[in-house]
Structure 1
């Protein structure tokens, strides 16, 4: 008979701890959402103008979304809020095809808004890219891979390797 009040007291404490955990969880989510909305608002809107690089814009947005710990299935609608002008019009038309897929959104955005002149400039940079006299191999490596990805995000490893080898200093090639 004396055990029942102790059991009730224990149950009450457990319920209180559970309630406090739920409150902390809700507060954390609210703070994450607030930080996310402030960060996304600070990002440059993407309109699809010729002077905007969709890959660079996506890198910025992905960094914001990763910091906020946003899962892939929630990224597309958040990123779409940062579209303006022609890019916003494009998204309204492509929304059904994209179907919320973050990977599809990125691929379609890059394909649609990478101007032919941009592709040509990237290709020229890649063809002419050589490792500098005092440039570390790592710096050269990441720069060439970045250009390869901008030129063709589906570029094969063999092609990337050829681009890397072409510009390496003779002492390393």
Structure 2
């Protein structure tokens, strides 16, 4: 329908503009040719057609809420977003919301519509009616467990977190949203963000994106410098003689994709780490044996600030090219990568 409205606008465009016959062949520097120009439809008329097309699309393809196991908060958020896009005032939303309800939800609305004096009251009542305590607990647990991964941009992380925050509480205060956003983000950005203390989610996203861009620039510079040093080693010739060339050590961090318990995974190798670490969520994806559950312990990363909650220890088989080796790894609740491989891997590293 929207495309049809636009096509109609295009079809009404003027034909080729031609000068009037009286001046077509007698132009001069002092004369101005007279043109006959067909008028376009007014912008107001075009906007009306576009809004009408959007409205038709909203009504024809509307998602109905019927109660049961449907997520009322997700449905309401999607509906409100579309109504805002169509510039529906709140009184109009309340008037026609019943056309977006079905089954149990529609019956409930018909019985209680007299108590819904505003759009805000409708939202509060339908959420209260169709949200169970258990679903609230599940939503909060999803929010608590969600953390930014190492390959996830700050924008991707932000969008996912905002969805989870709306599930927990659509009317959550900005300061509380910012606290959750900062708590669950990567440690590499977290401490810089605490210095800036953003007050709103918009400020959080703006500051975090700038820090992320600076971090990428720094990483690119480091890679470029490493490449140049490896290609063109520097000789110390201060004594007039050819001295030993400086060499670049292999980086302590690298990423590989390999088989862990016969399942391909992307892992980070940290030759400077004293332990191998795997997340509980990643461990569940593998067929593992000899898991030793421990009382929860705290482990601090090399930065001295990042605490990890250790819940156990497990034996895993890792394949590096043709070599299969059994290693022991600590199991933690959360980590910015799926798992890290460490603990003096000089011999294993030679196979990578």
In structure 2, C-alpha distance between the alignment counterparts of 1:42 and 1:61, rounded to whole Å: 11
Map Cα deviations across residues 24-74 of structure 1 (whole Å, 9 max, x no partner): x99x87985675355223212111121x11122123322332343322110
Is 1:94 matched up with 2:112? yes
CA separation of 1:171/1:30 partners in 2, compared to 1, >3 Å: closer, same or farther? closer
User: More displaced, 150-159 or 129-138?
Assistant: 150-159
Q: Which has the larger radius of gyration?
A: 2
SS at match of 1:43: coil
Alignment of 1:12-23 (within 5 A): none
Q: Equivalent residue for 1:12?
A: none
Asked if 1:144 is matched to 2:137, the reply is: no
Q: Is the 8 A contact 1:36 1:64 kept in 2?
A: no
Stretch moving more, 64-73 or 86-95: 64-73
CA displacement 1:53-101 (0-9 Å, x = unmatched) = 11221233223323433221101121211111111121122212212x1
- By percentage of residues, which structure has more helix? 1
| Cα separation, partners in 2 of 1:138 and 1:77, compared to 1, 3 Å | same
Which of the numbers 41, 52, 60 marks the counterpart of 2:60?
A: 41
Secondary structure class of the residue paired with 1:111: helix
Q: Distance in 2 between matches of 1:92 and 1:59?
A: 21
SS in 1 for 2:122: helix
Higher relative contact order (CA closer than 8 Å, sequence separation 6+): 1
Offset of residue 125 of structure 1: 0.8
In 2, are the aligned partners of 1:40 and 1:64 still within 8 Å (CA)? no
Which residue is 1:115 aligned to?
A: 132
| Residue 192 of structure 2 corresponds to residue 166 of structure 1 | no
CA distance in 2, matches of 1:149, 1:138: 17
Structure 1 gaps, min length 5 = 1-24
Q: How many residues align?
A: 148
Q: Distance in 2 between matches of 1:103 and 1:140?
A: 29
Counterpart in 1 of 2:94?
76
- Say yes or no: does 1:126 pair with 2:171: no
Q: 2:49 & 2:109 partners in 1: Cα distance?
A: 28
Bigger proportion of residues as strand = 2
Residue 189 of structure 2 aligns to a residue in which SS?
Answer: coil
Following the alignment from structure 1 to structure 2, what is the Cα–Cα distance between the partners of residues 120 and 139?
A: 24
After superposition, the Cα gap between the structure-2 partners of 1:31 and 1:116, relative to the gap in structure 1 and judged at 3 Å, is: same
Contact 1:122 1:151 in 2 (8 A): yes
- Return the offset for 1:127: 0.6
Root-mean-square deviation (CA, aligned residues, Å) is: 2.7
TM-score, normalised via structure 2 length: 0.38
- Is there any run of 5+ residues in structure 2 with no aligned partner, and where? 1-43, 191-352
1:156 aligns with 2:177: no
Residue 54 (structure 1) aligns with? 72
Structure 2 vs 1, CA of residues 68 and 162 (structure 1 numbering), >3 Å: closer, same or farther? Answer: closer
